[in-house]
Amino acid sequence: MPKPGSRLRLVDVAERAGVSLATASRALSGRDGVSAEVADRVRRVSQELGYVANPYARTLAGGASSTVGLVVHQVDDPYFSEIAGGVIEVAAEQGLLVQICHSGRDPHFELRQIRHLIAQRVGIILIAGSGYTDNRVEAETKAELAAYQSLGGRVAVIGRHSLGADAVLPDNEAGGRALTEHLLGLGHRRIAVAAGTEG
């Protein structure tokens, strides 16, 4: 048992449950190799003692953390907040946490955010936003993500086409056509388009 005032450790749970440290770790993380009876006992003891896993220790011991890194251009933009809400919902179903980074539409700052997420050993990186016209920064970002993926990291992008990762590409052309057809159907003939800059 831990001494009064000392921080409860996984080894304390293992001792109380009568199992090895490795078995206690596997039982609490839901990994294979532990019978249902032993896993239930370890979880029950963990709850009785009030043990809370240290995610930093788990990351150091087991590689990537159970965190998803999400990079968006503008966190208060309805488009990106909708994406963030969906990511958070699906991640929660998988027992994952989401760390949101805001690039402010700056390719250099976005690259710094990606490097920070990699240094934090997140298991998955999602990047939402259109591509940049700065080819040098795009190439650096692609290289960082390729190295991250070669070590087992997972990457997906939304609206990006040149980062060497799985991509969700909105069908902007079909959307624009549907919108125009709708406006024409309403009888409008003078239609203006407000577009952002190329970058």
C-alpha to C-alpha distance for 10 and 4, rounded to whole angstroms: 16
Is the pLDDT assigned to residue 132 strictly greater than 80?
no
Q: What is the pLDDT averaged over residues 23-40?
A: 82
Amino acid letter, 48: E
**Pair 50, 79: CB distance under 8 Å:** no
Question: Tens digits of per-residue pLDDT, 140-173?
Answer: 999 999 988 888 889 999 987 788 888 988 888 8
Give Cβ neighbours of residue 21 (< 8 Å, ≥ 6 apart): 10, 11, 14
Q: What is the pLDDT averaged over residues 53-70?
A: 66
Question: Tens digits of per-residue pLDDT, 32-56?
Answer: 788 889 988 998 998 888 887 665 4
Could you tell me the two tokens for 125? Answer: 């990186």
Q: What is the pLDDT averaged over residues 109-135?
A: 87
Please state whether the predicted TM-score (pTM) of the whole model is above 0.75. no
What integer pLDDT is reported at residue 172 of this predicted model? 83
SS3 call for 77:
coil
**Pair 101, 69: CB distance under 8 Å:** yes
What integer pLDDT is reported at residue 171 of this predicted model? 87
What integer pLDDT is reported at residue 160 of this predicted model? 76
| Better pLDDT: 6 or 65 | 65
C-alpha to C-alpha distance for 158 and 143, rounded to whole angstroms: 18
Is the pLDDT assigned to residue 126 strictly greater than 90?
yes
